[in-house]
């Protein structure tokens, strides 16, 4: 099956979902904005963008999306960046704002742990895609730090000794934004490894 035949949902409640959509299109797949439970019909994968997890948390409840997302994530691939990673995590440290994470990937995260907005930065990092090493651009903007990684989680990239790109089964999560620039390396990996039948071992 080709990427052209795939429809990738993008959680479009808040945040920079438009940039993910542009990358999905650039790679030749279809995208659909997900705002309501019925938007999951026929989707092959879901992207949860960066933005503000507290706002997304409120809007997911308001639009009845919590159960459909949980259900979808049981069998279908999900890629979360930044706020999306926070929502996919098992636990959020010092979780004063009461964001309810889905627990789809066995990691704990500390929100905003790379510093405030003014301390945002870009890095060129190296991912180890199951033996294939590739450089990619990562933008850290009030990014979550991964503070615990469960045994079943594979770390694909680290930055200053913290895991920043992790996967478990069909769930992929990044501390940073991979969608801000031209570089589609991570989305290509997500498509190749999770969406198409050409999975690397």
Q: Which residues are catalytically annotated?
A: 82, 177, 179
CB of 81 to ligand GLN, least distance (A): 7
Q: Does 51 bind ligand GLN (CB under 6 A)?
A: yes
Part of the chain binding ligand GLN (CB under 6 A), chosen from 1-9, 81-89, 164-172, 184-192: 81-89
Q: φ, ψ for residue 30 (rounded to 5)?
A: -90, 150
CB of 54 to ligand GLN, least distance (A): 6
Q: Does 91 bind ligand GLN (CB under 6 A)?
A: no
Q: Does 101 bind ligand GLN (CB under 6 A)?
A: no
Residue whose entry in the numeric block shows the structure tokens 């290509």: 188
Between 38 and 62, whose beta carbon lies closer to ligand GLN? Answer: 62
Q: Does 174 bind ligand GLN (CB under 6 A)?
A: no
Q: Give the one residue of 6, 142, 145, 170 binding ligand GLN; rule: CB under 6 A.
A: 142
Going along the chain, which residue ranges are E strands? 7-11, 30-34, 45-48, 78-81, 91-92, 107-110, 121-129, 132-140, 145-149, 154-159, 162-168, 171-174
CA angle 151, 177, 113 (to 5 degrees): 65
Q: φ, ψ for residue 18 (rounded to 5)?
A: -60, -35
């Amino acid at each position: 099956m080709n990427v052209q035949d795939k429809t990738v949902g993008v959680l479009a409640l808040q945040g920079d979902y438009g940039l993910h959509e542009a990358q999905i299109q650039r790679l030749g797949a279809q995208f659909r904005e997900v705002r309501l439970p019925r938007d999951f019909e026929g989707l092959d994968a879901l992207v949860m963008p960066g933005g503000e997890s507290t706002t997304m948390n409120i809007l997911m409840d308001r639009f009845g999306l919590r159960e459909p997302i949980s259900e979808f994530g049981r069998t279908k691939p999900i890629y979360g960046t930044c706020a999306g990673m926070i929502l996919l995590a098992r636990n959020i440290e010092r979780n004063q704002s009461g964001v309810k994470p889905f627990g789809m990937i066995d990691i704990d995260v500390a929100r905003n742990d790379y510093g405030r907005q003014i301390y945002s930065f870009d890095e060129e990092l190296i991912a180890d895609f199951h033996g294939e090493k590739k450089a990619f651009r990562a933008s850290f903007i009030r990014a979550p730090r991964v503070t615990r990684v469960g045994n079943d989680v594979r770390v694909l990239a680290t930055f200053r000794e913290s895991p920043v790109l992790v996967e478990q089964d069909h769930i992929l999560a990044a501390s940073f934004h991979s969608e801000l620039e031209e570089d589609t390396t991570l989305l290509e990996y997500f498509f190749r490894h999770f969406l198409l039948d050409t999975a690397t071992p």
